[in-house]
Each structure stands twice: as structure tokens, then as C-alpha cells.
Structure 1
């Protein structure tokens, strides 16, 4: 298939470890503009976990939540992945005491953020 016509990889596929079934802390860190140790802090795991045990279940659950929220934001942004990541990291949400989606995911509220994104995409107002 021509590279131009090849469908864009899903966010999860683009951020997984090559030839592995788990998400890559390194790739996700790069996408978010974060050091891997910062991801460890956000996931509340040891600073060595992302490199020594990237398949750690607690870390992977956090990374899956990050990917789920960014994927929902990407869909709402018309497929603009860069815009979705910027929003995730930087936009304070008035409906959530001006916390960012990133802070809400760190607090274990990924589904709340996804529901919010979907409600906005469906035409609800804040």
C-alpha cells in the first residue's frame, strides 16, 4: 500500500513498544514532552519502573488512561493529535476547578474526562 494512502496508526498503536503488547513509557513521554521519570511520578510508581519494568500493571493502567483520554480528545478535535495532546497537558477546565485533563487522569478520573469530552462533542455547554 502506498505510504500516502496508508491509514494513520491508532494512538495506542503509535505509542506501544515495538513488537510488544504494552504501551511504551518512552514514546508516551516523548509525545507529552515529559521525561520518563515524570511519567513515573504521575503514575505513582518508582522512578525506575518505566525503564526497568515498563509492563508494570499500575504503570500500564495509567498509560492506558492517558491514551484513552487523548484518543477521545483527538476524535473531538477532528483527528488533530497534536491539538489533542496540547489540550490534555495545558487547558485548564473550568468545570473541574481549572485542573487540566492531565491532572484529572493523575487523580484517577480518566472516565470523567472522557465523559466530559463526549458531552462537549455532542453539543453540551459547560
Structure 2
């Protein structure tokens, strides 16, 4: 658990808005290969919110959930952030009707994805 927390802390710092106490929609969008409008849509906020009000609580909640899942995935991927991001955006998970981790986080199921990652890391076979 502490390895995930260390990874999450470092990942969160990577995605922090420079000089601010919140996550950067631009940095996270860029890492995920999303335009700001796509990120806003996933967070269920106005397309102008990421630029005009990046500290918006709904947006920040979504971004924190993305970072939580990416941190767990990165930890399981041996620290390979690129592999973790690819998995997050593209891997259909049979256990969840072939939805991607990205789709599950959009539905508010970040903890379910983290539990899945931890079960796989612990040796479960789906």
C-alpha cells in the first residue's frame, strides 16, 4: 500500500498545476492524449471550466480519481507510466463488460478499478 501511495504522490506532483495546490487539467489531458474539451466532457463540466476555473471541485474530483487509478496502474506496471496510461485509455476489461478503465472512472467507479488492479497484482486471474 505504501508503494502505491509513494507512486501516487509523485504522480500527483507531476500533474500539479505549477505554483498551485491543485491538479492541472492541461497536464493530465496532455498525458492522456485528450484535448481540453474531451477532459471537460469526462469530468462532466463545461468545456470552458478547465481553462477558466481549473480549481473547480467537480473537475478536480475527476482528476484526482484519474491520478489514483493511474498511480495504481503505474505501480503494477513496474513504474512504466506510458504503459499505465495506454492501459487506462484502451484496455477493455472482460470483468467489466469490456469497458476501459477510463470509462469506469467516468462512471464514478475509480475504486472498483483500483481494487481490480490490486487483485491482479496480488495474483488473482480475473
* TM-score normalised according to structure 1 size: 0.92
The 5 Å alignment of 1:21-100 reads 21-100=21-100
Corresponding residue for 1:3? Answer: none
Distance in 2 separating the partners of 1:25 and 1:36: 7
Corresponding residue for 1:114? Answer: 114
Could you list the per-position Cα deviations for residues 40-79 of structure 1 after superposition, in whole angstroms to 9, with x for gaps in the alignment?
0000000000000000000000000000000000000010
Distance in 2 separating the partners of 1:125 and 1:111: 19
* Structure 1 unaligned residues grouped into runs of 5+: 1-8
Larger radius of gyration: 1
Q: Does 1:11 align with 2:11?
A: yes
Q: Pick 1 or 2: higher relative contact order, CA cutoff 8 A, min separation 6.
A: 2
Alpha-carbon distance, 1:31 to partner:
0.1
Structure 1's consecutive aligned runs of 4 or more residues displaced over 6 angstroms after TM superposition are none
* Structure 2 unaligned residues grouped into runs of 5+: 1-8
Larger fraction in helix? 2
Corresponding residue for 1:6? Answer: none
Aligned length: 118
Alpha-carbon distance, 1:10 to partner:
1.0
